[in-house]
């Protein structure tokens, strides 16, 4: 029996602009189970990224409940959420979100150091993670010296280095050329095959179908939740 890693109940997210209130997410109910690869799709403004931000605790919901690994996140302090992100979640940003002052190795090592590992140990693990994404030869490059694909692979290495329970990826191929995109998706496939739970926002049909479950959002609501059947 698979465990529920994420449970979203009646989730609402609204933004206020003066007197005008925009409801971006409207009463979303959603469950992500261990080992799943879920693609969240929808047109621009449908609320895909917003849903991901709430689930990954980068943002606070207006109302509703989010349970991560059975824990209610509603009353968690900012520090508790940060700690949860550090230890249990991995995040791949659309624009890579690497720290420009740090080399690829340091970017990957920083969260490991925050976990309490000493520099030497963190560097060794970060190097392994970079080798896993095929960047073993670029560890001392600064982000500005890496190509877009290399930066995104560094971002994936950082997200995976601490072995998160869930890997969130927000449009991971949006800024990449076709070849780099294929490489990234191949990486996702490999880590998923090793048991990694992935929740990925994408607007690219081709890549969304690599997942085993596709959730369609429109106007802040889930309009479909489809399981992909594969012939083995």
Label the pairing between strands 71-72 and 63-68: antiparallel
Q: How far apart are CA 6 and CA 29, in angstroms?
A: 11
Nearest approach, Cβ of residue 115 and another protein (Å):
8
Q: Which CB atom, from 106 or from 214, has the smaller least distance to another protein?
A: 106
CB of 105 or CB of 211, closer to another protein? 105
Minimal distance, residue 57 CB to another protein, in Å: 8
Cβ 103 to another protein shortest distance, Å: 9
Closer to another protein by Cβ: residue 43 or 119:
119
Nearer to another protein, 2 or 75 (CB): 75
Instruction: State the residues that interact with another protein by CB under 8 A.
Output: 53, 58-60, 78-79, 82-83, 85-87, 89, 91, 93, 97-102, 106, 110-111, 113-116, 119, 142, 158-159
Judged by beta carbon, residue 37 or residue 96, the one nearer another protein is 96
CB of 31 to another protein, least distance (A): 23
Minimum Å gap between C-beta 137 and another protein is 21
* Residue 194 to residue 34: CA distance in whole angstroms: 12
């Amino acid at each position: 029996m698979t465990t529920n890693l994420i449970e979203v109940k009646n989730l609402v997210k609204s933004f206020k602009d003066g007197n005008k209130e925009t409801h971006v997410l409207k009463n979303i109910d959603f469950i992500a189970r261990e080992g799943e690869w879920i693609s969240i799709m929808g047109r621009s403004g449908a609320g895909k990224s917003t849903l991901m931000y709430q689930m990954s605790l980068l943002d606070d919901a207006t109302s509703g409940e989010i349970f991560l690994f059975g824990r209610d996140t509603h009353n968690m302090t900012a520090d508790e959420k940060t700690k949860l992100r550090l230890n249990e979640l991995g995040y791949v940003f659309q624009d890579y979100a690497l720290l420009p002052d740090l080399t690829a190795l340091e970017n990957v090592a920083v969260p490991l150091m925050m976990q309490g590992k000493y520099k030497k140990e963190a560097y060794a693990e970060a190097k392994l993670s970079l080798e896993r994404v095929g960047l073993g030869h670029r560890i001392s490059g600064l982000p500005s010296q890496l190509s877009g694909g290399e930066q995104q692979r560094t971002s994936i290495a950082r997200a995976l280095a601490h072995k998160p329970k869930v890997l969130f990826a927000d449009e991971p191929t949006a800024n990449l050329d076709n070849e780099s995109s294929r490489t990234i998706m191949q990486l996702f496939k490999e880590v998923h095959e090793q048991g990694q739970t992935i929740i990925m926002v994408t607007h690219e049909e081709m890549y969304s179908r690599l997942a085993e479950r596709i959730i369609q959002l429109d106007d802040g609501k889930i309009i479909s939740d489809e399981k992909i059947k594969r012939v083995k």
